[in-house]
A and B are shown apart, each in its own frame.
Chain A
Amino acid sequence: MGLSAFAQVQVVQGNNSSQFSVSKHADFSSFTTDKANYFVLKRTEHFEKINTLIVADKSGSVVTNKEIRVDMGSFNNQRGVKDLLVINSTPVVFVENRDKGAGKNVLTAGAIDGNGSINTALITIGSMDFVKMSNAGEWYAALTPDQKHVAVIGKSPYEKGSAAQFSYFMLDEKLQVTSKGIFTFAGNDKNIYVTNFLASDKGDLYIIADDFDKSYKYPTLYKYTIGGTGVIVPVMITDPKLKNLNYIARLSPQGDLVFAGYIQKKSTFSAGDPAAIGTWMFNSSKTNEVKTFNFDKPITNATARNLIYNGDIWFLVGEQYKADKVEMSASGPAAANFDETYNYTHGDIIVTGFTADGGSKKFDLSLDRQWTAKDFDQDLTVASGTINNKLVVVFNDQYGKYIDDRYHKFLKLPVAVLISNAGVADSPVIFANELDVKVSSYTLYPQFFNNDSGHLMVLSGNSQSIKTVTFQ
């Protein structure tokens, strides 16, 4: 355990976990309750979706780290994990069962105990009829911000030439269905390829799907309010010369859906890395308004990572990020035995502040940084959150930028930067001594973080163990 005595940001380390190693190419989600912080790492191996649940108590000790897996069944009777959510401090796994013989796709849910074991008495949530295993419908689950309800939607098996149809199930803390129904979207006559699903406390279900304008991708919001009707909102930038580059979406405290991302210039010919010329923002409470804001100069490979509201300001946190797939020398069936390998480049961290209504931009700022890596880059991303209502970004920077030491110049040095609502960044707080950077085998993994009021908990790891590092 270590505390930096005079800095505005202090750091506390948790205990070493039992044996554990972080897998590469993992997706991530997190949950925070009064009792614990939950990290869910998601990966796919041999067609199996594997969720790893890491639970840290409020002192930072890792109390559970366990792979949550189910028996995959047989070819015509498949089971698989669809999602893992934490409902009022209880981790719950959602399991789909596609049974061709019965012609049913059934979604069940089961609580996970402190040892990481799934309660064998799974609760049935809903079912869909299907004919082909390859077109058996899809389930999606979302936790409401109050953490006491779960919205589940099922997209029925799609029939060519028809409109996509959904069923919904609202669940309480005990996973009991409190309301259910079906809905479609008037005006839609095609399939909807869901990329994200969120739900508000008010019963608004937000389905996000990506659509294409020639080669440019933009999100379309399909909003259904329980007891109301479905609304389709293409979130398109009005200026025909500008297009979305990438974006991120979050719920506002009012339960509206807010998008923010980067814009690029539309061109008939493009070469080199894509350059963002500014940012865009959209709030579902104002359906016809996609606001755009220009940067002073273009930023290549800008990638949105997080969208945070601190009660006054929306902060869009991004980074310059590029992943180049490495061509494999193996071909044919042999190639299937190899994991895909990437060369990664992580550049400057970019922060943009927007007013609470999203109507205007407050500031842009960038933090200088440059890393390259092969195959594993969970240590090169950026963690972000709020500490005492100030935005904090945490990342690994180069040791030699801060400390004159030729032998350790390229060590990864964890750094925290506080940013005010006016866009003023404090001097970086470095944790060379507190985290024993020169002799520690642990590396901070800013991809895996968890933020509650006043604390940003980030995982760190070596080849056999993990522990938490809490910035506060």
Chain B
Amino acid sequence: MKKLLSLITFLMVLVSFANAQDQKYVDPDLTRGIHPGTVTTLDKKVLQGYVFNADHVQNQKRCIFYTDYNDGNTKTEYSPSDLVGYTIENLQYKSIPYSGNIGSGKGDQQFVYVAKPGFAINTFVYYTPGQQILWQKGEEDPVSNSTMLFNFKKTLLNLLGDDPDIAAIVNDKGRVYLMMHLDILVDQYNTWAQAKK
């Protein structure tokens, strides 16, 4: 019984932490269908063509690419392990390892929507179909609520601590403040990184 109560309490804490961020990003707004787009192959070649836009969730699982949208024979279906990423019009998807807010260990490769490109850190939205937000600095492992669960400050310092001003804020402020201001801190970090270049 005690074990069950502990498990329920742990899950409640986990869920509340997962929902701690009320930051919402504007959802992609593009009609379902074929649109101009590109795919970036693993050897970094960018192929121009056309990509099928399905919906927020399906776009994470596969990319359907045509070199000629009038010719079905030019169709190629890519999985997240086949590509670095793809674009449909102004929408960008990048293949990164992620298994959701309550996942553990290294996640499966997914095409995740780049909600806010940054100079150093990109902000992603993963759809469940609800929004889950994650960040990736360069090609490092992405940071999400699940990775911040047990090592919150250490994880944030790894992500943002190169900037001494932000490192001081992370060390001084509490978890609630930092979660509420994470978007601003990421912007500040990107500005700092760009200026430092």
Interface residues of A (CB under 8 A from B): 16-19, 115, 436, 439-442, 462-465, 467
Inter-chain contact A462/B90, CB cutoff 8 Å = yes
Residues from chain B with Cβ under 8 Å of A442 in the complex = 89
Residues from chain A with Cβ under 8 Å of B35 in the complex = 439-441
> B69 an interface residue at 8 Å Cβ cutoff?
yes
Bound Cα distance from A17 to B36, whole angstroms: 15
Using a CB-CB cutoff of 8 Å, which residues 110-133 of chain B contact chain A? 117
For the complex, count residues of B whose C-beta is within 8 A of A. Answer: 16
Residues from chain A with Cβ under 8 Å of B26 in the complex = 19, 464
> B8 an interface residue at 8 Å Cβ cutoff?
no
> B50 an interface residue at 8 Å Cβ cutoff?
yes
Chain B nearest CB, measured from A11 CB (Å): 14
Inter-chain contact A439/B33, CB cutoff 8 Å = yes
Bound Cα distance from A19 to B26, whole angstroms: 9
Inter-chain contact A463/B89, CB cutoff 8 Å = no
Inter-chain contact B90/A16, CB cutoff 8 Å = yes
Bound Cα distance from A440 to B69, whole angstroms: 12
> B29 an interface residue at 8 Å Cβ cutoff?
yes
Bound Cα distance from A442 to B90, whole angstroms: 10
Inter-chain contact B117/A439, CB cutoff 8 Å = no
Inter-chain contact A17/B50, CB cutoff 8 Å = no
Bound Cα distance from A464 to B113, whole angstroms: 14
Chain A nearest CB, measured from B54 CB (Å): 15
> B28 an interface residue at 8 Å Cβ cutoff?
yes
Bound Cα distance from A218 to B191, whole angstroms: 51
Interface residues of B (CB under 8 A from A): 26, 28-31, 33-36, 50, 69, 87, 89-90, 117, 191
Chain B nearest CB, measured from A21 CB (Å): 9
Residues from chain B with Cβ under 8 Å of A439 in the complex = 33-36, 50, 69
Inter-chain contact A16/B117, CB cutoff 8 Å = no
Interface centre among A16, A18, A440, A441 (most CB of B within 10 A): A441
The residue that A441 contacts in the complex, of B69, B89, B191, with Cβ under 8 A, is: B89
Inter-chain contact B90/A17, CB cutoff 8 Å = yes
Inter-chain contact B90/A464, CB cutoff 8 Å = yes
Q: A17-B90, A19-B26, A464-B30 are in contact. List 11 more A-B contacts (CB 8 A).
A: A16-B87, A16-B89, A436-B36, A439-B33, A439-B34, A439-B36, A462-B90, A463-B29, A464-B90, A465-B89, A465-B90
Chain B nearest CB, measured from A61 CB (Å): 13
Residues from chain B with Cβ under 8 Å of A440 in the complex = 35-36, 89
Bound Cα distance from A442 to B35, whole angstroms: 10
Inter-chain contact B33/A18, CB cutoff 8 Å = no
Residues from chain B with Cβ under 8 Å of A441 in the complex = 30-31, 35, 89
Residues from chain B with Cβ under 8 Å of A467 in the complex = 90
Bound Cα distance from A440 to B89, whole angstroms: 8
Chain B nearest CB, measured from A413 CB (Å): 16
Bound Cα distance from A16 to B28, whole angstroms: 14
Bound Cα distance from A467 to B31, whole angstroms: 18
Interface centre among B28, B30, B33, B36 (most CB of A within 10 A): B36
A-B contacts, 20 listed (Cβ < 8 Å)? A16-B87, A16-B90, A17-B90, A18-B117, A115-B191, A436-B36, A436-B50, A439-B33, A439-B34, A439-B36, A439-B69, A440-B36, A440-B89, A441-B31, A441-B35, A441-B89, A462-B30, A464-B26, A464-B90, A465-B90
Bound Cα distance from A16 to B117, whole angstroms: 12
Give me the 7 closest cross-chain CB pairs, A-B, nearest first.
A465-B90, A16-B90, A463-B29, A436-B36, A441-B89, A439-B34, A464-B29
Residues from chain B with Cβ under 8 Å of A19 in the complex = 26
Bound Cα distance from A68 to B24, whole angstroms: 24
Residues from chain A with Cβ under 8 Å of B34 in the complex = 439
Chain A nearest CB, measured from B195 CB (Å): 10
Beta-carbon nearest neighbor of A461 in chain B = B90
Beta-carbon nearest neighbor of B31 in chain A = A441
Residues from chain B with Cβ under 8 Å of A465 in the complex = 89-90
Residues from chain B with Cβ under 8 Å of A464 in the complex = 26, 28-30, 90
